[in-house]
Structure 1
Amino acid sequence: MTRTQGLFINLPIADIARTRAFYTALGFEINENFSDDNAVAVVLGDKQFAMLLKREFFQTFTKLELADPTKYVQSLVAIQFDDKKEVDAIVEAALGNGGGEPHPPEDMGFMYQRAFSDPDGHGWGPFWMDPAGIPEDH
């Protein structure tokens, strides 16, 4: 089985200071070793990072045209939390700091999920799940 040593999600952003302030307000740590005038490295978990790169810098990694995440969905990043309260807390923090909520919460009993978009329009899906509670027919 193939396994990775870590995860770096790269997303283009418009403003380093705004992005740093937003993710810090959500309670995430910034890894300064990977951050500079072109990037903010948000620590999502152990060896898991969101590399938020200025659009111009991000463009140097691809010949493809960058999509506007406020108009087109590039990705939806799901992040798991320990309980429903943490899911609610991060979404409420996002909403209070310039983020949006693209759809209402969903509670399926064994899984609870919400969503928020960051100030650049990237979609995040915080969720809690109890695998033991998943119905057999699901």
Structure 2
Amino acid sequence: MFDLIPFRRRSEDPFGQMLKSFNEMVEDHWLTPFGSNTQSFRTDIREEKDKYVVEAELPGIAKDDIEIDVSNNYLTIRAKRNEYHEEKDDSNNFIRKERRTGEFVRRFYVEQIDEDGIKAKLEGGVLKLEIPKRPGDDRSRKQIQID
């Protein structure tokens, strides 16, 4: 997080140093001690003519540990990870025992979709949702002129 150089070189940009320090702080997980219970995951959202396509990266998470629901115009994707690993020596004493649990949640505001037509598929650690648009809700875009 902090550079080991006790002084700043004259050629260094002070704003660049500040930005670098901020990025390092945000990238480090010291803000969420012990890996907070609620985290996020990366998603790509694409709009097509008749549907939205959501692709969420969920590597290592089983299909049974993923919950998807739509309620009050919000699409919620919730994934839980419970990993448990232990190693014992010949005397059946623990050498190492690790646990990692967490919940990953993303919520998206959605409207004018066909909730009954949503399809979900998990393949290669990527959850793909196809969310059809509700027929007849195709609004034309109107440009507003500024006076």
Report if TM-score (shorter chain) is over 0.5.
Answer: no
More strand by share: 2
More helix by share: 1
